[in-house]
Amino acid sequence: MEERSVKRENAVAAYNVANDETKKVLVALLGEDFCKPKDIRERVKTLEDAISILGGDHPYVKHLTLYEQEMHGNVEKMEDISAFLKLRVITTALNEGWEPQFIPNEKRWYPWFDLYTQEEIDRMSDEEKKEVGLVLWGGSASSGSSCGLGLASSGHAFSNAHAAYGSRLAFKSEELADYAGRQFFDICADFCFKPEKPNAE
């Protein structure tokens, strides 16, 4: 009798894209905890995972799909708008139905990012760069040096809205905000910051 092992990440990915009947089969074969971990962070590793969890009929998924279809190949496509639509889907999936009520004493969390100059980056060890999840691009800081973006921590409450993330993308816990900022770093960077475009010659 031949036996084959299944990686949990592959089982979760299969479960996320399966229809209801196939999900039942996967659960019967592998167990619900293996296919559908209770921790949402184990189920949402990619944008595609988030889309699958919400379903194609969810308004946020429809908005993203429509925008991507309309702007496909269009030079005027705005990456920050695309990133915002993606982050709405990701945030909603990770929050598992929780929505901010904007009431007194409610905590709403979001990733907090720092901008580093090339000089600061050069002084960092490889471990420090890995810790902040540094993303580098070919833009420039006000001093003219290359710059990078790193996740610093998580912040909460609307009073810090100047962090350029926005209350619509709030998370129900600090852990989820920290996870989203690290796991979906490139999308967050597209939304929060834009590299300086080179001058046309």
pLDDT (tens digit per residue) in 69-126: 998 877 677 888 999 999 999 999 999 999 888 888 888 888 877 777 778 878 888 8
Name residues whose C-beta falls within 8 Å of residue 165's C-beta, 6 or more positions apart in sequence. 110, 111, 112, 188, 191, 192
Is 138 or 83 the better-scoring residue by pLDDT? 83
Residue 115: predicted pLDDT: 74
Residue 190: predicted pLDDT: 85
pLDDT digits (tens, 9 = 90+) for 35-82: 888 899 999 999 999 999 999 999 999 999 999 999 887 767 788 899
116: β partners? 148
Q: What is the per-residue burial (b if ≥16 Cβ within 10 Å, else e) of 123-155?
A: ebeeeeeeebbbbbeeeebeeeebbbbbbbebb
Name residues whose C-beta falls within 8 Å of residue 113's C-beta, 6 or more positions apart in sequence. 149, 150, 151, 152, 163, 164, 181, 188, 189, 192, 193
Question: Residue 85 carries which side chain, given as an amino acid letter?
Answer: L
C-alpha 152: how far from its chain's center?
15
29-33, 80-84, 191-195: least confident range: 191-195
**Cα→Cα distances 158→22, 66, 124, Å:** 42, 30, 32
- Is residue 140's pLDDT more than 50? no
Distance CA 124, CA 163 (A): 23
- Is residue 196's pLDDT more than 70? no
pLDDT digits (tens, 9 = 90+) for 161-174: 434 455 678 999 98
Domain spans in the chain, listed from the N-terminal domain onward: 1-38, 109-192
Q: Nearest to residue 94, comparing CAs of 153, 39, 137?
A: 39
Is 10 or 45 the better-scoring residue by pLDDT? 45
Under 8 Å between Cβ of 140 and 148: no
Residue 59: predicted pLDDT: 96
C-alpha 158: how far from its chain's center?
20
Under 8 Å between Cβ of 79 and 193: no
Residue 150: predicted pLDDT: 60
For the chain, strand residue ranges (E) read 109-117, 135-137, 147-156
Residue 147: predicted pLDDT: 52
Distance CA 118, CA 113 (A): 16
76: number of Cβ within 10 Å: 5
Q: What angle do CA 51, 55, 59 make, to 5 degrees?
A: 90
